[in-house]
Amino acid sequence: MAKSILLINGPNLNLLGTREPSIYGTTTLPDVIDSATAQCDRLSIKFTHIQSNHEGVLVDRIHEARGHVDAIVINPGALTHTSVALRDALVGVDIPFVEVHISNIHKREAFRHHSYLSDKAEAVICGLGVFGYEAAIDWVAKYVEVKGNARL
Ligand SMILES: O=C(O)[C@@H]1C=C(O)[C@@H](O)[C@H](O)C1
């Protein structure tokens, strides 16, 4: 069972709750983090989180996670559809990850239908709103085994 999870949120997710609420809902990112923190506490999982609007900052954080994190839950935001660098970082550190999208990207503009990450993800959750984060953490807790001595 995973003992440490890193949650990553990409560009514009800092606006969650006020940004296009008809698509992304009214729950704020701090509320998402608070819920995920409590969920991980209940599951005895060490939890950390980063949100950044900068691709290189997220790449650096993924590199830093190697050897310290058992699994990553990532909503890459728009980098989903553009970032080979993010894909390469996730594959390069060999940490299992679950891809989360608040909206159902397959019901939206065509340019959102492709992800540079999905074929490397353990699972992809989209369209469940912010519940997708909770579902991803629950799944990771149940099905992702600790690799070596990975700890935060
Ligand atoms: O649904 C989401 O969480 C994703 C969030 C974004 O910011 C968009 O750029 C993606 O296309 C969809």
Ligand 1, pocket-test mutation among 18, 79, 80, most atoms within 8 A of CB: 80
Both tokens of residue 31? 């509320």
Catalytic residues: 24, 101
Convert the pLDDT of each residue in 7-30 to its tens digit.
Answer: 999 999 999 999 999 999 999 999
Q: 35-38 long-range CB contacts below 8 Å, 24 or more apart?
A: 35/130, 35/133, 35/134, 36/7, 36/133, 36/134, 36/137
Q: Is the pLDDT of residue 6 over 60?
A: yes
pLDDT for res 147: 62
Q: What is the pLDDT of residues 48-61, one digit of tens each?
A: 999 999 999 999 99
102 lines ligand 1 (CB under 6 A): yes
Mean pLDDT of the chain: 95
In sequence order, the 6+-apart residues with CB closer than 8 A to the CB of 38 are none
Please say if the pLDDT value at position 34 is more than 80: yes
CB 133 within 8 Å of CB 104: no
**Residue 112 labeled ligand binder:** yes
| Residue 3 near ligand 1, beta carbon < 6 Å | no
Q: How remote is the CA of residue 104 from the centroid of ligand 1, in Å?
A: 9
Q: Say whether pLDDT at 94 is over 70.
A: yes
Q: Is 9 in the pocket of ligand 1 (CB under 6 A)?
A: no
What's the whole-number mean pLDDT along residues 133-152? Answer: 78
Token pair of 121 as six digits: 């993800």
pLDDT at 151: 39
Residue 106 labelled as part of a binding site: no
Stretch 125-133: mean pLDDT, rounded? 98
Residue among 1, 6, 113 nearest 51 (CA): 6
Contact 10, 100 (CB under 8 A): no
Task: Tell me the C-alpha distance between 29 and 137, whole Å.
Answer: 16
Q: How far is the CA of 3 from the centre of ligand 1 (A)?
A: 27
Name the CA radius of gyration of the chain, rounded: 14
149 known member of a binding site? no
Amino acid at position 64, single letter: E
Whole-angstrom distance, CA of residue 30 vs CA of residue 28 = 5
Token pair 């819920």 in the structure block, residue: 35
For the cut 70, the answer to whether the pLDDT of residue 109 exceeds it is yes
**List of residues 6+ apart from 53 with CB closer than 8 A:** 10, 11, 12, 14
Q: Would the CB of 105 count as within 6 Å of ligand 1?
A: yes
